Amino acid sequence: MYPTYKDGDFLLMKNNEEFKRDNIVVFNSPTSWGAEGKRFIKRIVAIEGDSIQVNGNNVFVNGKKRELERYTCENNEINKSFTLKKNEYFVLGDNILQSNDSLNQICSGSESFLIKESMIINSGKEVFKLGGF
């Protein structure tokens, strides 16, 4: 999540009744991400009911281009559209060029690129130190 957060920063998690676009969340990684048992911190860019289109190096949420650094991957001819179901989220890191996130998973051909609400750590009692959680 650099430059928003840096290694060594501490995060105190707060309970949320509802997750919204641009919320920053910590979650247990899906097994398809190749980082079993690790936790990730990412920004929610789309929530349930949102339509996503990934077209080459561009991401559109509900028809509006998401202003991100140019994202590149080996297969920049990707053209994928989908609508998020209940309790599904599309997440991206702020350091998009070095981020293992939903977009990176799409580029690598993963079918498990969405984060489910049940994976999000939602506890007001947890403190995380970046680079060590």
Quick one: which of 45, 41, 43 has its CA closest to 60?
Answer: 45
The CATH number for 28's domain is 2.10.109.10
Tell whether 4 is covered by a domain.
no
Number of neighbours of residue 45 by Cβ within 10 angstroms: 21
- Examine residue 43 and state whether it is found in any structural domain, yes or no: yes
Residue 47 lies in a domain: yes
Is pLDDT above 50 for 74?
yes
List residues bridging with 127 in a β-sheet.
12
Q: Which amino acid is at 124?
A: G
Element (H, E) at 106: helix 102-107
Query: How high is the pLDDT of residue 62?
Result: 97
Looking at the domain assignment, is residue 90 inside a domain? Answer: yes
Please state the domain count of the chain: 1
Q: Across the strands, what pairs with 59?
A: 54
Q: Report if residue 3 sits inside a domain.
A: no
pTM of the model: 0.82
**What band does 61 get if pLDDT is binned at 50, 70 and 90?**
very high
For residue 28, what are the domain limits?
A: 10-129
**pLDDT in the model for residue 124:** 57
Gap between the Cα atoms of 128 and 83, Å rounded: 32
Q: What is the pLDDT of residue 90?
A: 92
Q: pLDDT tens across 101-117, in order?
A: 888 888 777 888 888 98
Q: Is residue 2 part of a domain?
A: no
Identify whether 65 is part of a domain.
Answer: yes
Question: Is 20 a member of any domain?
Answer: yes
